[in-house]
Amino acid sequence: MEYSPLSRGWALPLGSLFFICALYWNGHGSDLGYWTSWMQQMAQGYEHAQANYPPLLLHWFWLLEKIFDFAGFEYPPVSPVQLKFFVLLPVLATQLWLCHRVERSLCERNVQPLKSPVFWAVVASPALLLDGPVWGQVDLLPFLPMWLSLVYAFRARFFIAGAAFALALLWKFQAIVILPVLAGLFMRRWRLQTWYYAPQALAGLLLVGLIGFLPFIWVGRFAEMFHAAYLGNTDIFPFATFNAANLWYLLVGNITDMHQPLLADGGWLTPHKLGLVLFALVSVVCMLRAWLATERFGQVVGLAMVMVLGFFTLAPSMHERYLFLLVPLAALGCARGEIRTGWLLLANLAIACNILLVLPLEGDAIWRQLSWLVVVLTLFALATLGLGLRLPTSVKISHGGAIAAAVVGGFMTVQVYQLHSLNRVEFDRLGRVYLSDIKESYFHQDWGRLSRDASVNNDPLNIYGRSFDKGLGVHAFSKVAYRIPEGANFFHSYYGLARAGESGSVRFSVLLDGRTVWSSGAVGWQPPKQVLLPLRGAREIALQVDGLGSITSDHANWAEAGLWQTAPGGRILSRR
């Protein structure tokens, strides 16, 4: 079918833009720590992997390490933005495919994408953005092979369906949720004369599974890693619900023992047993429906959605993100006109709200992006609602894929340049490099931005009347980290409150490789003091400022903060 001359071509550029912007929002630090730890393990080889995760993500970490090592970059990257970007490249590819497929399906139905709530609920999906580029999760990765397994099972091409299902399981074990639907579709086609469907499906499943685990088989760790990825996780969170807003939250509350009896007199009725029974009943119903009452593929999509909802709502030990796959299923179902749009909107709402209960948004990047959005909306409203201008809504982009590639490629180029420059600095004739002249690897601040060679409110650097030309202006709480370049052996800085912080009280700290090695104690409005520390082979230095009491006036300066090849003459080393 030929496309109608509609507003197509927007999905890939807009999807890329929203994804990249969301990378700058604060992720969940503890979960990013898992990625970092597993990346470090994979850098040492498959023999050292200790992750309780299916193998495809670990293969991706191994491949990333080879690329970073070839380029001479530090691995894993320290910057949360760079860490999320490179880890989530497969997620970005899957999300862009989803956006493109939704746009294409809408155009095939002669629906203007830019006027469709389905289009915007996917391209700017709060659930997709919060789970992926904001949090740094990879829950979207199994969706594409899950979708393909449903498509090919419906077409009775069971070798491909089995292979795609195995691929989904190799990304995330939660893909198992569609197994009853696949079983029903298999029974729908299976007859005595078509007995060969069973070995076809099994062959596809086993072949892909074997290839996926081949590196671990090679090093003799298949049984260990298979158990860790698929069987060992069941006992990690023995709760009726773990931050999931579902039936068990209503009945017993959050993070409650799933083996605790529901009735006062005890008995066998526990959230664990009852939840499994209820979910098994939903699974049987969906399998029978797929077997006996599926004439359209839209019915298959609906049954898969029921399975995801039943899994999240009824099964024990659910997390806040386990409803996530409802969004891409509903998105493609709605775009094809087989599922009502309300399902997609409600799925986005439920999943985004549940994630936000665990992942509160904060940080300057969100404020700035939201501010730009409000400014653009105001101008748009003035033009359309105020002045009555009619803006085109059927603009076609001829090369949307090329534009998206340029957006992602440009962003990647910037990140690669920053990785290249992190450990490559030039010392001046005194053997010194100022921190304000090099790129930080990490930065977080509760108010304002990191100011280079100026105070946090852009005034000249000044501590108790003494002016400085170089340095960093921050506001408590603040933490800024730098890779220590080769040849740097000492850190030196003046420190104190800025002129606007006369009534403040803070504590300055220096961390080397995550360990606090120096702290100033309470610092108020007083003359500048100095800190000089040996680096002794450390890889990263972090400068931290904590507010003591109210942070209303905690404008702090690290003046002349720099790294030295030799100790600056005439200065005394601070105690470590």
- pLDDT tens-place string over residues 509-539: 999 988 899 998 888 888 999 999 998 888 8
Q: Does 416 or 289 have the greater pLDDT score?
A: 289
The confidence band for 418, taking pLDDT boundaries of 50, 70 and 90, is low
Q: State yes or no: pLDDT of 487 exceeds 90.
A: no
Q: State yes or no: pLDDT of 2 exceeds 60.
A: no
In this prediction, residue 504 carries a pLDDT of 83
C-alpha angle 365-366-372 in degrees, rounded to nearest 5 = 90
Closest CA relative to residue 216, chosen from 203, 205, 229, 204: 229
The confidence band for 117, taking pLDDT boundaries of 50, 70 and 90, is very high
The confidence band for 455, taking pLDDT boundaries of 50, 70 and 90, is confident
d(Cα 57, Cα 61) in Å, to the nearest integer? 6
Q: Average the pLDDT over each of 41-55, 338-352, 414-428 and give the range with the smallest value.
A: 414-428
In this prediction, residue 394 carries a pLDDT of 55
CB 303 within 8 A of CB 291: no
Q: What is the mean pLDDT of residues 143-165?
A: 95
Q: State yes or no: pLDDT of 5 exceeds 60.
A: no
Q: Domain boundaries in the chain?
A: 1-137+324-421, 141-234, 237-323, 432-564
The confidence band for 3, taking pLDDT boundaries of 50, 70 and 90, is very low
Question: What six digits make up the tokens of 417?
Answer: 């340049």
Q: Average the pLDDT over each of 106-120, 255-269, 405-419 and give the range with the smallest value.
A: 405-419
Q: State yes or no: pLDDT of 153 exceeds 90.
A: yes
In this prediction, residue 393 carries a pLDDT of 56
CB 562 within 8 A of CB 434: yes
Q: HSE-up of 86 (CA within 13 Å, CB side)? A: 27
The answer to whether the peptide bond before residue 73 is cis (omega within 30 degrees of 0) is no
Query: Tens digits of per-residue pLDDT, 534-564?
Result: 988 888 899 999 988 776 778 889 999 999 9
Q: What is the mean pLDDT of residues 58-78?
A: 88
Q: Does 233 or 12 have the greater pLDDT score?
A: 12
In this prediction, residue 440 carries a pLDDT of 80
In this prediction, residue 79 carries a pLDDT of 78
Chain center to CA of 287: 33
Q: What is the mean pLDDT of residues 483-502?
A: 86
In this prediction, residue 4 carries a pLDDT of 45
Q: What is the mean pLDDT of residues 186-212?
A: 83
Q: Average the pLDDT over each of 6-10, 47-51, 350-354 and give the range with the smallest value.
A: 6-10
CB 258 within 8 A of CB 240: yes
Q: What is the pLDDT of the chain when averaged over all its residues?
A: 86
Could you tell me where the DSSP H helices lie in 227-296?
A: 247-252, 271-292
φ, ψ of residue 169 to 5 degrees: the values are -65, -30
In this prediction, residue 7 carries a pLDDT of 62
To which residue do tokens 């920053």 refer?
418
- If DSSP states are collapsed to H, E and C, what string results for 67-81? HHHHHCCCCCCCCHH
Question: What six digits make up the tokens of 196?
Answer: 């060969």
Q: Does 182 or 376 have the greater pLDDT score?
A: 182
State the distance between the two ends of the chain, measured CA to CA, in whole angstroms: 72
Q: What is the mean pLDDT of residues 159-179?
A: 96
Q: What is the mean pLDDT of residues 457-480?
A: 87
CA torsion 501→502→507→509, rounded to 10°? Answer: 60
Q: State yes or no: pLDDT of 26 exceeds 50.
A: yes
Q: What is the mean pLDDT of residues 193-208?
A: 83
d(Cα 346, Cα 344) in Å, to the nearest integer? 6
CB 151 within 8 A of CB 181: no
Q: pTM for the complete prediction?
A: 0.78
Q: State yes or no: pLDDT of 576 exceeds 60.
A: no
Strand 241-242 versus strand 318-319 pairing type: parallel
Chain center to CA of 398: 30
Calculate helix-pair angle for 89-108, 143-154, nearest 10 degrees.
40
β-sheet bridge partners, residue 507: 522, 546
d(Cα 228, Cα 222) in Å, to the nearest integer? 10
Indicate the fold that domain 432-564 takes in CATH.
Jelly Rolls (2.60.120)
- If DSSP states are collapsed to H, E and C, what string results for 30-50? HHHHHHHHHHHHHHCCHHHCC
d(Cα 192, Cα 219) in Å, to the nearest integer? 42
C-alpha angle 412-414-415 in degrees, rounded to nearest 5 = 65
In this prediction, residue 193 carries a pLDDT of 58
